[in-house]
Amino acid sequence: MSAGGAIARGRRMAERLMVDTCLVQRVVGETTNEETGAVEPLLETVYSGPCKLQNQSQYEMGAEAGGHMSVEQRSLVHFPVGSFQVRHGDLCTFTASVAPGVAGQKYRLQGETPYRTFETAYRVYAVQEVA
């Protein structure tokens, strides 16, 4: 099997595991809420489709701000190769998942599209947004 054939097969296999769906939005400007007067981000949808959530081991990062300790656990979100161009700060919302509790979760993507020659999926670091 050629390298190209092996990559195509690997991409198909990776996409079969992307059983969740998500919506990725990007801040493209600001708008003012007419009811509250608050300035809010203007979001553009850059991707809607299959994806996969995977925890990046149990690595945690702690930060203290205002006397409160917060803990972040980094995860990876997988997307099909060529599906869209990832930008640092994109907001990924899981719209459906086979895993209980994942639908509705929001993650801030960390980094750009990870271009690699033998990439079978775009694997992007993400930090969960907690309201």
User: For position 55, what pLDDT does the model report?
Assistant: 84
User: For position 57, what pLDDT does the model report?
Assistant: 59
Number of domains in the chain: 1
User: For position 58, what pLDDT does the model report?
Assistant: 54
User: For position 74, what pLDDT does the model report?
Assistant: 80
Q: Where residue 34 sits, what CATH number does that domain have? A: 2.40.10
Q: How far apart are CA 47 and CA 79, in angstroms?
A: 10
User: For position 63, what pLDDT does the model report?
Assistant: 63
What is the chain's alpha carbon radius of gyration, rounded to the nearest angstrom?
17
Q: How far apart are CA 120 and CA 78, in angstroms?
A: 10
pLDDT tens-digit profile, the chain (131 residues): 899 899 999 999 999 999 999 999 999 999 999 999 999 999 999 999 999 999 865 555 666 666 766 666 789 999 999 999 999 999 999 999 999 999 999 999 998 998 888 999 999 999 888 76
Structural domain including 73 reads 3-129
The three-state (H, E, C) secondary structure of 53-120, written as one string: EEEEEEEEEEEEECCEEEEEEEEEEEECCCCCCCCCCCEEEEEECCCCCCCCCEEEEECCCCCCCCCC
User: For position 122, what pLDDT does the model report?
Assistant: 95
